[in-house]
């Protein structure tokens, strides 16, 4: 009785076995065997029948070999049969005598022999199979898909890595990093991309060991994975370049060095690989370091940290900005997303722009206006409300959350702060705020400079921070939100703050301003954007060469953006950049000169005034000026520039618009302000692209065409004229 359940299990295995045809145990049959053997092993263990247990366990591992094709089917089948017979024997013997004296060693040995020697053969088979796959699929469109998706996966990995560093215990993070590596490896195997496959494989393995807690998460480990990810990204970008035909120099990835570093982490010994190699698995590293040396100038001959590849790659990353945001694991499933070529979207939005204009022309048509048909006027107004709705919706299509850009910044902060030997945490706010995808690329460079600046100049050293009673770890906050038609991006640090007096002193020293000028705090802060300005006492490879902030200023002006700076000594600084949501629409002020209408970007306008006669001056050598609150600003007569007949020639009869260009303001003379309007920017076409003073055209609400003025260009024109 005692052994009945055991024996019936064995019998059921044996009867299943009888139904197998062709001496081959297939997967579904193996499934049954596995589950029954598992039950048998448990049962044998409970009853302390060690022989039965070990035979069943032997069969279990034999079965594994069979289903994994590690051994020949027929040999496996025969051995399995022997095992079942042996188990039946043991069962009978226990039932009758309560024990078993026979030999199980021979069986165990035969299984070991079977599984041991045949492994090599099946590996060979695997290699052959792969070679076959090589030739079969070399589809270019597959490669393209792989590149796009692969790069997205890498972005995802980076983000999760940074999260993991914050929460080393979070297994979800580890999994979220493991999975993309695994997927990349899988496809790379199909596409015959060996280096990519091997690299992804190394990283995947490493993460697998993190997952099984064989290795603990340390910042060294994160570094290695980040470097590996960078290399992987470089490989994929290289693949892309190759595909596009503009192949750069061959890229060498030192997998051996990476393996070595991984070994060192595993054994928890210091890196044996050279530091320089450590910084970059990529070869291109050298050039950057040399440049640093040249730029070193007065810097004491201390060791300059080698430039990290991560950063170089991130700026390289602008070539391939993320096109669609991958949904986060948590909120998946409920939002269906399709991927659309950005070109198609741009075309659609362009066409909608045309539609809006045509619609407005119909609305302003004299026939329509004079027509008393109520139905027509109702339909026309319906048409215009639909088109304006359509325009809003289509512009929204191109909107993507700012999150991705922020995440790249947080990677940048990590690399930069390490090089600068500072501890900096990044906090993000409002990362779901949406922005035109075409703007994402445009704001990337200015943001990089601002963030660099915050790390290098903003955040103070740990010692100073402790001395001041601040937390040792610095903080950079990235915040985005909508205000009016703009998106505001704030970059704040809790560091030193801007030193008003130092900036002023420096600016006077460098003859960037006149010491007599009376400037507000805001004006003084903005001096740091002037070309050639730098208050950094020493030059590092991060910033301080006096380039950078003026790059910000230029980019920012191109985008019709405004910068506001708020700062307090030892409390930190906040740089707020306010960008238009899209480059396709502009907030403009419509002005009239004679019978012409012009549009001035609202962001450039400082003031509107009707000057009194006394404020007008004409000084020889200096030209015409208007006194605006104590400042003598040059007067620009728009009608002269455009060669038209104005209504007023005397400034005191007309209106003056104070407009800001690059670091200077001037007064534009206009006849009348007609109002403010949101206009759709139309390009003037190739032939007029280089026309100075005009940045585009727009159809105004009344159907008339107006030119959009470019203040800086106008200033240059007026200087040439005057």
Partner 1 sequence: MDIDKNMGIVVVDDFATMRKVIKNLLKQAGYKNITEAEDGVEALKVLKSEKVDFIISDWNMPNMNGLEFLKAVRADSKLSGLPFLMVTAEGLKENVVLAIKAGVSGYIVKPFTAAVLSEKIEQIAEKL
Q: Kindly list the residues in this chain that would bind partner 1 in the complex (CB under 8 A).
A: 26-28, 30-31, 34-35, 38, 64, 67-68, 126, 129-130, 132-133, 136-137, 139, 142, 145-146, 149-150, 153, 176, 179, 182-187, 189-191, 205, 329, 332-333
Shortest approach of partner 1 to residue 192 CB, angstroms? 9
Q: Please give the Cα distance from 305 to 286 (Å, whole number).
A: 12
Distance in Å, CB of 187 to partner 1, minimum: 5
SS3 at position 575: strand
Element (H, E) at 17: helix 4-18
Q: 273, 275, 279: which is closest to 259 by C-alpha?
A: 273
Decide whether 189 or 446 has the Cβ nearer to partner 1: 189
Tell me whether residue 333 or residue 629 sits nearer to partner 1 (CB atom): 333
Judged by beta carbon, residue 262 or residue 656, the one nearer partner 1 is: 262
Nearer to partner 1, 130 or 396 (CB): 130
Distance separating alpha carbons of residues 94 and 86, to the nearest angstrom: 12
Closest CB 366 distance from partner 1, rounded Å: 54
Query: Which tokens hold the place of 258?
Result: 């990476």
- Determine contact, residues 706/700, Cβ cutoff 8 Å: yes
Show the tokens assigned to 682. 């139309």
State how far the Cα of 672 lies from the Cα of 666, in Å rounded to an integer.
17
Choice between 34 and 652, CB closer to partner 1:
34
| Residue 2, phi then psi, degrees to nearest 5 | -55, -35
CB of 129 to partner 1, least distance (A): 7
Smallest distance, Å, CB 149 to partner 1? Answer: 5
First to last CA, the chain: 116
Query: With contact defined as beta carbons under 8 Å apart, do 401 and 432 qualify?
Result: yes
Neighbours of 106 (CB within 10 A): 11
* Nearer to partner 1 (CB atom), residue 297 or residue 333: 333
Residues 566 and 574 sit within 8 Å (Cβ to Cβ): yes
11: exposed, middle or buried (C-beta count within 10 Å: 0-12, 13-18, 19+)?
A: middle
Q: CB of residue 30 vs partner 1: minimum separation in angstroms? A: 5
If you count DSSP H runs as helices and E runs as strands, how many of each does the chain have, helices first? 25, 18
Instruction: Report residue 245 as tokens.
Output: 């035909």
Nearer to partner 1, 97 or 129 (CB): 129
> How many angstroms separate the CA atoms of 525 and 61, rounded?
73
Closest distance to partner 1 from the beta carbon of 190 (Å): 4
Listed as own residue / partner, the contacts of 288-293 with beta carbons closer than 8 Å and 24 or more positions apart are: 288/312, 288/541, 292/541
- Taking each helix axis from N to C end, the angle separating 50-67 and 27-46, rounded to the nearest 10 degrees, works out to 160
- 658 neighbors 611 (Cβ within 8 angstroms): no
Tell me, what DSSP letter sits at residue 681?
-
Residue 713: how many other CB atoms lie within 10 Å: 15
Q: What is the DSSP secondary-structure string of 114-156? A: HHHHTHHHHHHHHHHHHHHHHHH---HHHHHHHHHHHHHHHHH
Edge-to-edge strand ranges of the sheet holding 572-580 = 424-429, 474-483, 486-493, 572-580, 562-568
In the complex, minimum distance from the CB of residue 137 to partner 1, in angstroms, rounded to a whole number? 7
Q: Which is nearer to partner 1, 152 or 415 (CB)?
A: 152
- As measured in angstroms, the least distance from the Cβ of 70 to partner 1 is 9
Taking the least distance from each CB to partner 1, the nearer of 329 and 365 is 329
Tell me whether residue 8 or residue 61 sits nearer to partner 1 (CB atom): 61
Contacts of 538 (CB under 8 A, 6+ apart): 298, 299, 544
Measured in degrees and rounded to the nearest 5, phi and psi for residue 706 equal -130, 150
* Least Å from the CB of residue 160 to partner 1: 12
Residue closer to partner 1, measured from CB, 326 or 477:
326
Q: Cβ 454 to partner 1, closest distance in Å?
A: 34
Nearer to partner 1, 190 or 652 (CB): 190
Supply the minimum distance, in Å, between the C-beta of residue 166 and partner 1: 21
Q: Of 502, 415, 513, whose CA–CA distance to 456 is shortest? A: 415
Q: Shortest Cβ distance from residue 178 to partner 1 (Å)?
A: 8
CB of 90 to partner 1, least distance (A): 24
Rank residues 142 and 427 by Cβ distance to partner 1 and give the closer one: 142
In whole angstroms, give the CA distance from residue 654 to residue 592. Answer: 11
Residue 196 has a CB neighbour count (10 Å cut-off) of: 24
Q: Which is nearer to partner 1, 80 or 146 (CB)?
A: 146
């Amino acid at each position: 009785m005692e052994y009945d359940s055991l024996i019936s299990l064995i019998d059921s295995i044996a009867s299943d076995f009888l139904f197998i045809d062709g001496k081959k145990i297939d997967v579904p049959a193996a499934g049954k065997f596995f589950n029954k053997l598992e039950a048998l092993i448990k049962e044998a263990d409970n009853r302390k029948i060690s022989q039965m247990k070990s035979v069943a366990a032997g069969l279990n591992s034999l079965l594994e070999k069979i289903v994994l094709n590690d051994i020949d089917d027929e040999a496996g089948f025969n051995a399995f049969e022997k095992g079942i017979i042996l188990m039946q024997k043991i069962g009978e013997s226990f039932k009758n005598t309560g024990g078993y004296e026979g030999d199980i060693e021979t069986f165990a040995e035969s299984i070991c022999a079977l599984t041991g020697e045949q492994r090599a053969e099946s590996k060979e088979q695997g290699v052959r199979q792969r070679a076959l796959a090589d030739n079969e699929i070399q589809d270019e469109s597959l490669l393209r898909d792989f590149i796009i998706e692969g790069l997205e996966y890498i972005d995802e990995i980076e983000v999760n890595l940074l999260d993991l560093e914050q929460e080393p215990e979070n297994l979800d993070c580890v999994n979220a990093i493991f999975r993309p590596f695994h997927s990349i490896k899988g496809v790379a195997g199909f596409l015959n991309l060996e280096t990519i496959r091997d690299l992804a494989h190394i990283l995947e393995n490493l993460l697998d060991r993190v997952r099984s807690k064989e290795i603990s998460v340390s910042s060294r480990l994160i570094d290695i994975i980040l470097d590996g990810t960078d290399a992987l990204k470089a490989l994929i970008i290289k693949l892309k370049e190759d595909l596009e035909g503009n192949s750069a120099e061959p890229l060498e990835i030192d997998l051996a060095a990476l393996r070595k570093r991984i070994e060192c982490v595993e054994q928890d010994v210091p890196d044996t690989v050279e530091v320089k190699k450590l910084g970059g698995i990529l070869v291109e590293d050298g050039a950057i370091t040399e440049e640093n040396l040249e730029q070193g100038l007065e810097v004491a001959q201390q060791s300059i940290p080698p430039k990290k590849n991560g950063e170089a790659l991130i700026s390289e990353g602008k070539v391939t900005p993320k096109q669609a945001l991958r949904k986060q694991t948590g909120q998946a499933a409920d939002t269906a997303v399709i991927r659309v070529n950005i070109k198609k979207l741009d075309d659609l939005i362009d066409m909608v722009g045309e539609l809006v204009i045509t619609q407005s022309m119909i609305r302003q048509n004299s026939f329509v206006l004079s027509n008393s048909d109520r139905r027509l006027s109702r339909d026309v107004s319906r048409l215009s409300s639909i088109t304006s709705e359509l325009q809003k919706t289509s512009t929204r299509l191109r909107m993507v959350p700012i999150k991705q850009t922020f995440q790249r910044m947080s990677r940048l902060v990590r690399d930069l702060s390490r090089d600068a030997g500072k501890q900096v945490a990044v906090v993000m706010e409002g990362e779901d705020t949406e922005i035109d995808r075409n703007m994402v690329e445009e704001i990337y460079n200015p943001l990089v400079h601002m963030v660099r600046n915050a790390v290098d100049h903003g955040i103070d050293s740990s010692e100073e921070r402790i001395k001041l009673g601040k937390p040792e770890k610095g903080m950079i906050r990235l915040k985005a939100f909508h205000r009016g038609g703009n998106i505001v991006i704030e970059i704040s640090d809790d560091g030193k703050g801007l030193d008003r007096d130092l900036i002023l002193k420096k600016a006077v020293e460098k003859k960037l301003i006149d010491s007599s000028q009376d400037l507000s705090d805001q004006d003084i802060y903005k001096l740091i954007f002037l070309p050639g300005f730098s208050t950094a006492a020493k030059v590092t490879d991060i910033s301080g060469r006096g380039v950078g902030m003026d790059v910000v200023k230029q980019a920012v002006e191109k985008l019709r953006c405004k910068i506001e700076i708020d700062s307090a000594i030892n409390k930190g600084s906040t740089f707020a950049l306010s960008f238009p949501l899209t480059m396709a629409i502009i907030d403009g002020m419509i002005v009239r000169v004679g019978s012409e209408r012009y549009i001035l970007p609202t962001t450039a306008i400082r003031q509107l005034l009707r000057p009194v006669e006394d404020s007008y001056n004409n000084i020889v050598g200096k030209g015409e000026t208007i006194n605006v609150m104590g400042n003598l600003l040059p007067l620009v007569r728009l009608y002269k520039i455009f060669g038209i007949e104005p209504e007023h020639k005397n400034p005191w009869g007309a209106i003056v618009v104070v407009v800001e260009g690059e670091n200077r303001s001037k007064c534009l003379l206009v006849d009348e302000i007609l109002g403010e309007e949101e206009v759709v920017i139309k390009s003037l076409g190739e032939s007029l692209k280089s026309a100075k003073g005009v940045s585009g055209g727009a159809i105004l609400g009344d159907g008339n065409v107006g030119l959009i003025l470019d203040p800086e260009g106008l200033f240059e024109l007026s200087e040439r004229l005057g």
